[in-house]
Chain A
């Protein structure tokens, strides 16, 4: 039996002005699998994530989420697709003017109108407890450290129990210990919730810990796709250097 496909890119191309970022990108991610996307800075990794959630539209090609091509889906109908996708931004992107608790409650109030205020509060409390921020519910994002912001962002991305979680640079700006805690949380999301993960990262330690598969983007194409061990012995020098654990 083959695993259900959660994400599929088919010949996706994307340019900004006259700069071709993605030329012909194709790959699939099976449901429940964790794919890490690696590549040099500015190569189009975050663009790939944003294409998956419809924040950007490709110039050509198809982006399938749960077997539905989301490229022709109008903006107003994308909320149906996004309902099942969580996104942890590089900067966490918490809403500055709301408390941590309200940041988590916002998607619940928007998507799950059947929930009473006490049920929303309970769901928020549970999710904050899961990421170790139960005492920080009333704090404003500016009062949180980088690691706490990431954990709060992760809690917000998971509060609707999405089938697919997109993560942009989970360990950027964090020390190794704090980055390790975020990676542990991601691993738990994968093993306990069976959430499909697509993670953009430079961090090979994160890849080693969480990824089932690694895709390396180079020169607008997928330069290599496989397990970390396979890519570490690739003939492509860029792939070998990006996946080398000794360079960390």
Chain B
């Protein structure tokens, strides 16, 4: 199925499902949230096109956060995990060639950033960023260490659950998305004001990755599965035919 046959406009974003801009328990949103209504329009070529990132962009260790900042044959410290899944559109079709960029704290909950002040130690062998491009069926995987929870200034004692940030490019700029992946069973999920901006338990579940024993590497790494869904485009019956049918 060729992408250029997906000629319809993007299906409107479901603003009842997505978080509101103003979510007072997450205090920073109060002065950073627009107050006027958004101006709604059907997508145009400006939103239906998107930059193209070729597989040749990706370096050998870009999807291996255990090794991509490590020196002298060492490795990042922490629980070794594989994160894998598929990027799909709202019709359930895999999105090939999607650029995923991810970033995270180290196993102690510390980010490698000038403005970060948490007292947990930096890991000299962990940078905290990686990227990959999805395969023909929309699948991806990368290796990292499980990040730690950390405190952040919001309430007097707010802690972020362990999480990995994702930035996603599909095939249209209208699909541009940033989100976060959480880990099954984390007790901080229920307490977090940033997760609290999600309106339903279903939305929280959509960002919570289950342990996937079938993809673990025995005696090496556990695995978590995280699928990502991007906006889909309207189609007519004929545009929807599978190649060869």
Tell me if chain B binds chain A.
no
Q: Which residues of A are at the interface with B, using a C-beta cutoff of 8 A?
A: none
Q: Which residues of B are at the interface with A, using a C-beta cutoff of 8 A?
A: none
